[in-house]
Amino acid sequence: MIVVMKKNADKEKQDRLVDWLKSMGLGIHVSVGEFQTVLGLIGDTSKVDMDLLESLDIVESVKRVSETFKCVNRKFHPDDSVVEIGSVKVGGGHFCMIAGPCSVETEEQIVTVAKAVKAAGADMLRGGAFKPRTSPYDFQGLKAQGLELLKIARAETGLPIVTEIMSADALPLFEDVDLLQVGARNMQNFDLLKELGHFGKPVLLKRGLANTLKELLMSAEYIMASGNEQVILCERGIRTYSDYLRNTLDLAAVPMLHELSHLPVVVDPSHATGIARMVPPMALAAAASGADGIMIEVHNDPIHALCDGAQSLKPEEYAALVKKVQAVREVLA
Ligand code: PEP
Ligand code: MN
């Protein structure tokens, strides 16, 4: 249920209303927007007397929210959320470019790529240290050592770092990571999501390989319901019946997620297509769809990459793409 407050509603009366609703065992999410304040009621609202609420002089209207996702729902929070990762803002008109290799391999590799993508205009550096691989015989990532190398690259460039967490057990290692990625394979690892809610650091939540938008939003709800509002959604392609492409990039998900939720939406055209030459056109399409950011795999030596070389752009290809993305953004403005 949401309670829309009247413009300039008396603050003391509003506080008293919030306390009264809390005394009924409800969680209250207060969203103070530019034009209106909305109270989002979470929990069993069946005993709440809507007519009584509506009769209060500080209340504009009361509506039931039928969707099962509440905290992530745009009805609870009409304005776009802006997620802040250090000095980088994402959402609400703030656009971010995330780039870097699939996996951290060596200090030289990650620092070289970090410098190159920074020079090209990237805002954040990605790189996997804990890698979810389909085969147990494939490179599994440098793990803790990979995180240390990412920190070195951050120190060299000033770029905030984005890296995947696969298990809540590893959380102590992620204290100094700027944006924690939940990969497609872990989108419904509910214990991990709850722990990330308590951990409190910004989370990049990727859509699962075969998950619906509602399921993605419910996973974001797990993080938010556990107390963390800093969530970015990521569309990275889903399994359909594509044969020549790694996945099917569901770009209509971007405007639909924006309609349903206030959370920022980033697109990953690298995992969506699996082919480097498909990445630039899909990145431009993602920008045109209204995405709040684009995450792209970039490697200084794609042929010898330990993971996902075929979909990795070379630094010069990335630099050319950033310029085109900026041009698309200008058209949208
Ligand atoms: C990744 O970003 O490196 C990754 C493994 O992505 P996904 O979880 O989308 O497959
Ligand atoms: Mn990858």
Helix (H, G, I), strand (E, B) or coil at 190: helix
Joined together, the tokens standing for residue 113 give 């790529």
Q: Which residues pair with 73 in a beta bridge?
A: 261
Joined together, the tokens standing for residue 66 give 């039928």
227 CA → ligand 2 middle, Å: 29
44 CA → ligand 1 middle, Å: 37
Q: pTM here?
A: 0.96
Joined together, the tokens standing for residue 274 give 């699996």
pLDDT value at residue 35: 80
pLDDT value at residue 312: 98
- Domains with residue ranges and CATH for the chain: 2-63 (3.30.70.1140), 83-332 (3.20.20.70)
Sequence length of the chain is 333
207 CA → ligand 2 middle, Å: 14
The contacts of residue 291 (CB under 8 Å, 6+ apart) are 95, 235, 254, 265, 266, 267
The contacts of residue 281 (CB under 8 Å, 6+ apart) are none
Please tell me the number of the ligand nearest to residue 247's CA. 1
239 CA → ligand 1 middle, Å: 14
pLDDT value at residue 47: 87
Mutate to test the pocket of ligand 1, among 182, 206, 211, 273 (most ligand atoms within 8 A of CB): 206
Q: Is the CB of 286 under 6 A from ligand 1?
A: no
pLDDT value at residue 237: 98
Dist. CA 247–CA 310, nearest whole Å: 14
pLDDT value at residue 36: 87
Q: Is the CB of 207 under 6 A from ligand 1?
A: no
Q: Which residues pair with 98 in a beta bridge?
A: 124, 295
Dist. CA 19–CA 143, nearest whole Å: 46
pLDDT value at residue 267: 99
Q: Which residues pair with 39 in a beta bridge?
A: 3, 30
Q: pLDDT below 50 — which residues of the chain?
A: none
Judge whether 296 and 286 are in contact, CB under 8 Å.
Answer: no
pLDDT value at residue 159: 98
Q: Is the CB of 274 under 6 A from ligand 1?
A: no
Judge whether 247 and 215 are in contact, CB under 8 Å.
Answer: no
pLDDT value at residue 105: 98
Q: Is the CB of 102 under 6 A from ligand 1?
A: yes
